[in-house]
Amino acid sequence: MKAKFLVVLCAIVALIALTWRSPIGPVSKAFAQQGVQPAAKQETTGIQPRMVSPTFAGPPAGTPKLPIDLFSSKNFYKDRALWSDQRYFRCNTPRQITDIWTSHRIGEKPPTTAAWGDCSIDYPRAKIVSPYPYKTAREHYQALLAAAKAKGGPTVYTKATLPDWDGHYARDGQADHGGDWIGGAVNQAPTILSLLTPEYQTRMVQGNYHEGVNNSPQWNASFCYPEGYMRWWLGGGGNSDVMVTTWNVQFLSGLADNFIRQILIGKEHVQKVPQWYGETVGFWDGTTLVAWTANVQGWTLTHSMFDFSDKMETVETYKPAYDASGKYVGLDIEGVFYDPDAFAQPLHATFRLARQADDPTRRYTYVECLSNLKNTKGMPTQITEADPRYVDYYGRPWAQNWEKYFEVGWDKPQSSGVPQDILDSLK
């Protein structure tokens, strides 16, 4: 009796575990939004296309709304069974959810008046997951290394023979869209959720809810928290300066923080603690640079996308791209993301960095984050001098502190430069 009970129990547990592992299956069938009138306003002035959201007042014709969705829910945790249905998010992409307030798509009676996105758009999950058979970054990297060795490599360059990659690069959004999904702008939310483990699905929906419903975006750079490794793959690695030496290939870029990624040629991972941008080693296989990043500090992508853990590792290839005439135009970059804590399986992105024409006036601007945005009652708020947390960064804040607490009532010298007794003698 006990044995039979145990067998049945094990079967139940196995069944639950199988469904629990990925409660969000691939995105449900898209409903064409025909016959539905678009909502009145769209933000178009000066905003990048990703923020100009196809906006609809409701779901496509013939598609019923869910009785409860993100914007009517009082507790998204209880709605787990609905997370796999794009209607739960009103067909908004993660980026649309982040921007729903700033793009005025939340409506007159938020949050229940939140607009719908386009239920017909999505980027295939099959293109986001890794096409490779490798289970870990180590396995992947070592396979590539073995392949290089089989051809007599890795390639060893001297100063004279180094590939000529130095220069300034910008992401070519037209040449390759294989990494757009990281921006959260081309997918239905459930498609992204389907890539994540349960805990990380919960974290992502938490972000969706509090950004989309509570209007509490927590972009780390607002508060001068680190940007984190994955942001390089989003946009941080966009405008990059590349320097190539025999021992180190460096990518330097930044938006709200400085991204410094150095690929140390011929080295092994040695760092004992997670690093904000990981520790990257690599080798040359002919003109292809192969890199492996490990020891990454877990963080979040923000913008209604996902967290990642400190098990995050990537295997990357950088291949020179040429135009039809054979002229070097840039780098085709592929990244495979391994994070067994966060991802249901390895993920995959590609993009092109196009080298820009030499510009003698182009400079890298070193970024120092100086923010007066603080959370006030849970929402990021631009504070002013009236707030005790305000920092007048360019007004010698160290001196302001001293003058406020230790120099009250003091006589201080005139700032005119002429001594007071001289000024007095002229009266």
Partner 1 sequence: MRTRLFVPLCALLALIALTWRSPTAPLSTTVFAQQQGGQLQNVPGQGQVQARMISPTFDGPPAGMQALPLDLFSSKNFYKDQKLWSDQRYFRCNTPRQLTDIWTAHRISEGSPTSAKWGDCKADYPRAKIVSPYPYKTAKEHYEALLAAAKAKGGPTVYTKATTPDWDGYYTRDAQADHGGDWMMGTVNQAPTILSVLTPEYQTRMVQQNYHEAVNNSPQWNASFCYPEGFLRWWTQASAVGFGVMMTPWNVQFLGGTADNFIRQVLIGKQPVQKVPQWYGETVGFWDGTTLVTWTSNVQGWTLTHSMFDFSDKMETVETYKPVQDANGKFGLDHEVVFYDPDAFVQPLHATYHYVRQPDDPNRRYTYIECLSNLRDTNGRPTQTTRDDPRYVDYYGRPWAQNWEKYFEVGWDKPQEGLPQDVLSLFK
Instruction: List phi, psi (to 5°) of 312.
Output: -60, 130
User: 320 forms bridges with which residues in the sheet?
Assistant: 331
Whole-number Å distance between alpha carbons of 119 and 123: 12
Q: Please, what is the minimum distance in Å from the beta carbon of residue 158 to partner 1?
A: 8
- Measured from the CB atom, the residue of 324 and 426 that comes closer to partner 1 is 426
**C-alpha distances in angstroms, 45 versus 99, 148, 222, 306, 379?**
15, 50, 23, 29, 26
Contact 323, 347 (CB under 8 A): no
Beta carbon nearer to partner 1, 30 or 369: 369
DSSP 236: I
User: Least distance to partner 1 from the beta carbon of 342, Å?
Assistant: 13
Q: How far is the CB of 257 from partner 1 (least distance, A)?
A: 8
Between residues 29 and 412, which has the closer beta carbon with respect to partner 1? 412
Q: Which of 193, 191, 207, 182 is nearest to 97 (CA)?
A: 207
Nearer to partner 1, 152 or 398 (CB): 398
Using an 8 Å Cβ cutoff, are 307 and 300 in contact?
yes
Closest CA relative to residue 190, chosen from 90, 106, 99: 90
Cα 86 to Cα 400: distance, rounded to the nearest angstrom = 52
Minimum Å distance from CB 155 to partner 1?
Answer: 16
Least separation in angstroms between residue 280's CB and partner 1 is: 10
Cis bond upstream, residue 111 (ω within 30): yes
Q: Which is nearer to partner 1, 323 or 368 (CB)?
A: 368
For the CB of residue 55, give the shortest distance to partner 1 in the complex, in Å. Answer: 25
Nearer to partner 1, 174 or 405 (CB): 405
